[in-house]
Amino acid sequence: MIRDRILIDAGPIVALLAKDDAAHEVCVKKSREYEPPFYTTWPVMTEAAWLLRRVSGGIPKLMGLVSQELLVCLELDTDSGPLIAELALTYADLRPDLADLTLVYVAGRDGFETIFSLDRRDFSVYRDRRGQPFTLIP
């Protein structure tokens, strides 16, 4: 089992919890290769909860991942606002959402290099704090 610290986006979270999601099987298979927990932010959790609103028990299952410490929500500090706003301007051509920007911010702040995301279009453009592309899974 791989012990990397991984940030996870809303898409894979939803795919893990919704058996009818097109990416369910690939996300489950890939998630089993890594030792928990996955790390995320509260804006990502909010996006995932919205996407899971029609899944029976979706939000309780989502919050269960947190209570079981399979997902850890990283806090945004008081300095995050201006820096996230700067990222929004840097990547304005992508029209990024807040959830994505918080992952890019946290990656830079905490040194994450790998992101579990189904959004290859945007996350292949975003860069880590050294200006390098993120390693993307799956």
Query: What pLDDT digit, counting tens, does each position of 69-104 carry?
Result: 999 999 998 889 999 999 999 999 999 999 999 999
Show the tokens assigned to 72. Answer: 């850890």
C-alpha 110/C-alpha 6 separation (Å) is: 11
The reported pTM is 0.93
Q: What pLDDT is stored for residue 2 in this prediction?
A: 76
Query: Which of the residues in the chain have pLDDT under 50?
Result: none
| Domains, the chain | 6-137 (3.40.50.1010)
C-alpha 85/C-alpha 89 separation (Å) is: 6
CA angle 42, 44, 48 (to 5 degrees): 115
C-alpha 88/C-alpha 103 separation (Å) is: 12
Q: What pLDDT is stored for residue 120 in this prediction?
A: 93
Q: What pLDDT is stored for residue 109 in this prediction?
A: 94
Distances (CA, A) of 25 to 15, 18, 21, 134, 138: 8, 10, 8, 23, 11
Q: What pLDDT is stored for residue 128 in this prediction?
A: 87
